[in-house]
Structure 1
Amino acid sequence: MTKPVSYFPADDPNARHLEAQPEALLIRPQETALIVVDMQNAYASKGGYLDLAGFDVSGAAAAIEKTQQACAAARAAGVTVIYFQNGWDPDYVEAGGPGSPNFHKSNALKTMRAKPELQGKLLAKGGWDYELVQELQPQAGDIVVPKPRYSAFYNTNLDSILRSRGIRSLVFTGVATNVCVESTLRDGFFLEYFGVVLHDACHHAGPDFVQKASLYNIEKFFGWVSSVEAFQKALKDNTNPTLTTKGAE
Structure 2
Amino acid sequence: MGSRYSITARPEPVSFDPDRTAVMVIDMQHDFGSRGGMFHLAGLDISPIERLVQPISLVLDAARKAGLLIVYTRQEHNSDLSDAGNDDAPHRIKHRRMNIGRTVTAPDGSASMVLVRDTWNTAIVPALAPQPGDVVISKHRYSAFFETPLDAILRARRIGTLIFVGATTSICVESTVRDATFRDYRPIVLRDCTAELIAADAPRSNHEASLLAIERLFGWTAESKDVIEALLAVSAAA
Look up the match of 1:25.
Answer: 14
Say which SS state the counterpart of residue 51 (structure 2) adopts.
helix
Give 1:140 shift: 1.3
Cα distance between partner residues in 1 of 2:231 and 2:78: 38
Match of 1:111 in 2: 98
Displacement of 1:209 in angstroms is: 2.8
Contact between 1:145 and 1:156, CA under 8 Å: does it hold in 2? yes
Structure 2 counterpart of 1:5: none
Give CA-to-partner distance per residue, 1:168-208, whole Å, 9 cap, x none. Answer: 00000001011100000011001101001011111213355
% same residue: 35
Letter of the 1:40 partner, please give it: Q
Q: Which aligned pairs between 1:218-229 and structure 2 lie closer than 5 A?
A: 218-229=214-225
Specify the alignment match of 2:54 in structure 1. Answer: 65
1:112 touches 1:118 (CA, 8 Å); kept in 2?
no
Within the candidate set 122, 132, 136, 2:124 is matched to 132
Q: Report deviation, 1:112.
A: 2.1
| Structure 1 residue 229: Cα displacement | 0.5
Equivalent residues of 2:39, 2:98 under 8 A apart? no
Structure 2 residue runs of 5 or longer lacking an equivalent are: 106-111
The count of corresponding residues between Structure 1 and Structure 2 is 225
Deviation, 1:54, is: 2.9
**Alignment partners' CA distance in 1, 2:124 and 2:234:** 32
Which residue of the partner structure matches residue 84 of structure 1?
73
How much does 1:235 deviate? 1.3
- Cα distance in 2 for partners of 1:209, 1:130 equals 24
Q: Secondary structure at the match of 2:121?
A: coil
Matches within 5 A, 1:229-248: 229-237=225-233
The residue type paired with residue 76 of structure 1 is K
State the match for 2:44 in structure 1.
55
Q: CA–CA distance in 1 between the matches of 2:104 and 2:99?
A: 5
- The structure number with the bigger radius of gyration is 1
Contact 1:176/1:203 (<8 A) preserved: yes
Spell out structure 1 runs of 4+ moving beyond 3 A: 115-120
Deviations 1:56-94 (A, max 9, x none): 211222211111011111111111000001110111111
Give the distance between the partners of 2:127 and 2:162, measured in 1 at CA.
22
Residues 16 and 89 of structure 1: is their aligned pair in 2 closer, same or farther, counting only changes over 3 Å?
A: same
Question: Are residues 1:170 and 2:170 paired?
Answer: no
Amino acid paired to 1:20 = A
Alignment check: 8 A CA contact 1:59 1:203 kept: yes
Q: Is the 8 A contact 2:72 2:134 kept in 1?
A: yes
Residues in 2 aligned to 1:130 and 1:75: alpha-carbon distance in whole angstroms: 24
State yes or no: 1:192 paired with 2:184: yes
**Partner Cα distance (2:99, 2:43) in 1:** 13
- Paired residue type of 1:33: A
5+ unaligned residues in a row in structure 1: which ranges? 1-11, 240-249
Aligned position for 2:137: 145
1:215 is matched with 211
* Inter-partner Cα distance in structure 1 for 2:231 and 2:54: 18
Contact in 1 for aligned 2:2/2:17 (Cα 8 Å):
no
SS in 1 for 2:115: coil
Q: CA deviation at 1:238?
A: 6.8
1:160 aligns with 2:160: no
The residue number in structure 2 matching 1:179 is: 171
Q: Give the root-mean-square deviation of aligned CA atoms.
A: 2.0
